[in-house]
Chains A and B, each alone.
Chain A
């Protein structure tokens, strides 16, 4: 079972929920869960789960290098590249590495065999053991690198669950390609939102992503100080179960700011998370 935690809006409590869920499951499940921090642009789950990293690999894509001596400047490479990462300008062929997605089309189409590929580092993936015997892995995008997707894909391919191991994936905020890469292939999507117009606006977008990918989804409402009727209506209209409501409490905010999870602050939440997991298992 692979559970992904996403939100649309940033700062709604994805990582708090994902880490609390993993700890709650670790207390009762063998093997303890696998936690994947897929928010490679700003990974922060380690602050809650205290992993000790034991393995590390560099990741990236392969980018084209043009041998000008062989290049006939025919322009086939530039024509096939939808990102304009390679361009023929007069008698020069230029590569723009930051736009390259590493698809290899230019290399295979070059009639002069003038293109070779060199690995271009974009970040690292790391794995280790975290608190409560949770297996922990994450990707970290290098500063200045614009593309998160290759790092996320390589993280998911590198760290696979063992038989019977539940996976919790902490997705990036937003609804763009990195989120799609992080949630694709999961069995259930937990959408963390807050009872505000902004939270609802981005939840709508996140639900569209779930629909497009065909992943069943449920909602967790965080920082609920009072019910927000438009959010309740939206969930009812879209048959989205509200799986958990977390109140707006100063004690939770203070605890999270100190690196504590919900189950450290309110131990009774462990049962709520386990109950939620059983509900999800029954639904999928």
Chain B
């Protein structure tokens, strides 16, 4: 089973990044072997719809679960449609801590968007 975690730099000892769509890197960990690889989050450079772009990447990888600090409404809808489970970091401070808690079934699963709307100013902008 492959799990995606949002992190601030491309390695297994990175700090967690609490943002999903605009989190700097996506760390993909095999939950069984702990083999990992890191990718730049394609959502970071998106002018809008960052969460959707990141969700597409996760779905195409394919990964079965995402752990992050925050899922906006578009990201939630997209990940749910792709059948990807969402979990919150909660108190975990590192990817390995989060992975341990995840395996122990101690991470909170996300049943809805964790905030009402995008919190930045791209709306109303045009090409």
Contacts and interface: CB of A to CB of B under 8 A. Distances in A.
Interface of A: 41, 78, 82-85, 87-90, 92, 94, 96, 98-99, 101, 103, 146-149, 176-178, 180-181
A180 B125 CA distance: 10
Contacts of B124: 41, 146-149, 176-178
Interface of B: 46-50, 52-53, 55-56, 59, 62, 74, 77-79, 81-83, 121, 123-127
Contacts of B125: 176-177
A147 to B, nearest CB: 5
Contact of A177 (B49, B59, B126): B126
B48 A83 contact: yes
Contacts of B83: 90
B127 A92 contact: no
B126 A101 contact: yes
Contacts of B74: 84, 96, 99
Give the most central of A96, A148, A180: most B CB within 10 Å. Answer: A96
A82 B56 contact: no
Nearest to A90: B82
24 contacts: A84-B50, A84-B52, A84-B56, A84-B74, A87-B49, A87-B56, A89-B78, A89-B79, A89-B81, A89-B82, A90-B59, A90-B81, A94-B77, A94-B78, A94-B81, A96-B49, A96-B77, A99-B52, A101-B126, A103-B127, A146-B123, A147-B124, A149-B126, A180-B126
A89 B55 contact: yes
